[in-house]
Amino acid sequence: MAAKTSPKKEFRVLSATAILGYGFPESSFREGMKRRPDLIGVDAGSSDPGPYYLGAGKSFTDRSAVKRDLRFMLTAGVRRGVPVVIGTAGGSGARPHVDWCEAIIREIAAEEKLTFKMGIIYADIPKARVRRHLRKGEIVPLTCVPPLTEAVLDESVNIVAQMGVEPIQKALAAGCQVVLAGRCYDPAVFAALPISLGYDPGLAIHMGKILECAAIAATPGSGADCAFGRLRPDSFVLEALNPARRFTKLSTAAHTLYEKSDPYHLPGPGGELDLTGCSFTELPGGKVEVRGSRHVETERYWVKLEGVRRVGFRTIAVAGTRDPIMIREIGPILAGVEAQVRDLLKAEAVEGRITFHVYGKDGVMGALEPEHRIRGHELGIVIEAVGPTQAAADSVCSLTRSTLLHFGYPGRISTAGNLALPFSPSDARMGEVFEFSIYHLMPLARPADFPARVVTVRG
């Protein structure tokens, strides 16, 4: 990393979109480029879409959409010599996700005749390393997470750590024009370069925290538009690049609440963002200036680990009912169907779990649903079967569907079939099922040391 120097007046950042592949208007991107950014950044990931994507090594965004967004960013960045940083490649940031994104970048380089130096940083953490820390009592569960055991660690796949700014700074210091990072603390994408130029880490990280969601923090908010940030020695200024949007004090402050447990204290790799002294001021032209954000380093440098384990395979069937007697009796009917199916499965030695998602009853809130009356004239029922193999899941789903279709219940007057099935085939394979198994902190002695390689991409 370069020695810290006194920062120039302003460091300008163009954030392309909330998540790589969500898109942005070309006009907003051009407005951003007109402002001569020092960095083009994009966050490509989230754990929000659930455990499947990390486990299966797949992206939750569409390949052609990711390629479209990256084409604008790479052509503008490479031709003008502006660094391009991509964080949490492929949505979850494990090796298969990084490889997927690398292939897309290479395709674009070939098509657009772009040649550049690229740093690729991997966030995967070997199980042996996690185990060493676990045996020393150094794997700390986050709130509501059970302590990690060796058995759970053994079952887990694609374990990644959220890297901080240091590995990105290392790649940029090595002269990389493009940095493709695996699982990454979202703000690090935007904060790494300005922090190594001497800007205040608190302001840089807080600006990154807002820019990683791009125009979501503007009003009207959008996940598919660019945003622009100007980092100064004692503040940062946010600007929307679409005349239809602006940043307001309230839109910016409200975004600070979004998806966080405590808006004043935001923990990240190696420290915590303290916003207790933070102020938001509106400037003319739909801009907001933020001051007072502080970064407080923790005594030890901790990173967050994420990992999932496979619990089986899923098959589902979608159905509905319009029968008022069946709707009234739906609880006992489904319990009766499940009991009957269980008996049959036991006889056949097929394992599996059955879940009924009953829309119109408690399909959305499940255990949290306070309303117990059913007031609709129809119910939607999703039959979910999870088994140890896809074939087992298929069997459980098929048997549950046919049993429910012809189940005799007290008071039944519609004897030809209990379900309206919208599709033929009625059952759909959903593939592997994963659940989160690791969401813990691990100490890191050398935060810059993530495995990385520097390649020359030739177009």
Partner 1 sequence: MKRSILSAAKVIRSKNSGPYELTLDILFKDRAHFDLFRRRNIVTKSKIAALYRRPVADILKIVYFEPSNALKITMRRPIPSGNAGETDIYGAQQHAPLLSLTY
* Residues at the contact surface with partner 1, assessed by CB under 8 A: 47-52, 142-145, 249-250, 253-254, 256-264, 278-280, 311, 353, 355, 357, 362-370, 386, 434-436, 439
State how far the Cα of 256 lies from the Cα of 271, in Å rounded to an integer.
Answer: 17
Other CB atoms within 10 Å distance of the CB of residue 207: 29
User: For the chain, first and last CA: distance in Å?
Assistant: 29
Tokens standing for 432?
A: 């592997």
**Of the two residues 236 and 439, which places its CB atom closer to partner 1 in the complex?**
439
**Of the two residues 6 and 143, which places its CB atom closer to partner 1 in the complex?**
143
Residue closest to 100 by CA, chosen among 132, 72, 131, 62? 62
Q: CB 132 → partner 1: shortest distance, Å?
A: 25
Q: CB 351 → partner 1: shortest distance, Å?
A: 13
State how far the Cα of 95 lies from the Cα of 180, in Å rounded to an integer.
Answer: 11
Q: CB 8 → partner 1: shortest distance, Å?
A: 29
Question: Which residue in this structure is represented by tokens 């150094």?
Answer: 138
State how far the Cα of 267 lies from the Cα of 148, in Å rounded to an integer.
Answer: 20
Instruction: Tell me the one-letter amino acid at 96.
Output: P
Q: CB 357 → partner 1: shortest distance, Å?
A: 7
**Of the two residues 293 and 418, which places its CB atom closer to partner 1 in the complex?**
293
**Of the two residues 110 and 364, which places its CB atom closer to partner 1 in the complex?**
364
Q: Are 87 and 184 in contact (CB under 8 A)?
A: yes
**Of the two residues 283 and 365, which places its CB atom closer to partner 1 in the complex?**
365
Q: CB 311 → partner 1: shortest distance, Å?
A: 7
**Of the two residues 367 and 416, which places its CB atom closer to partner 1 in the complex?**
367
Q: Are 226 and 24 in contact (CB under 8 A)?
A: yes
**Of the two residues 63 and 353, which places its CB atom closer to partner 1 in the complex?**
353
Tokens standing for 244?
A: 């239809």
Residue closest to 435 by CA, chosen among 306, 304, 310, 305? 310
Q: CB 378 → partner 1: shortest distance, Å?
A: 19
**Of the two residues 28 and 219, which places its CB atom closer to partner 1 in the complex?**
219
Cβ neighbours for 180, distance < 8 A, ≥ 6 positions apart: 86, 89, 98, 101, 102, 105, 118, 119, 120, 121
Q: Give residue 238's Cα distance to chain centre.
A: 23
Q: CB 335 → partner 1: shortest distance, Å?
A: 15
Q: CB 286 → partner 1: shortest distance, Å?
A: 17
**Of the two residues 26 and 369, which places its CB atom closer to partner 1 in the complex?**
369
State how far the Cα of 350 lies from the Cα of 360, in Å rounded to an integer.
Answer: 31
Q: CB 372 → partner 1: shortest distance, Å?
A: 10
Per-position DSSP letters for 367-429, written without gaps between them: GG--------S-EEEEEEEEESSHHHHHHHHHHHHHHHHT---TT----S-S-B---SS-EEE
Q: CB 436 → partner 1: shortest distance, Å?
A: 5
CA distances from 406 to 50, 102, 300, 417 (A): 35, 52, 62, 5
Question: Which residue in this structure is represented by tokens 């990992």?
Answer: 307
**Of the two residues 254 and 325, which places its CB atom closer to partner 1 in the complex?**
254
**Of the two residues 47 and 158, which places its CB atom closer to partner 1 in the complex?**
47
Q: Are 440 and 148 in contact (CB under 8 A)?
A: yes
Q: CB 363 → partner 1: shortest distance, Å?
A: 6
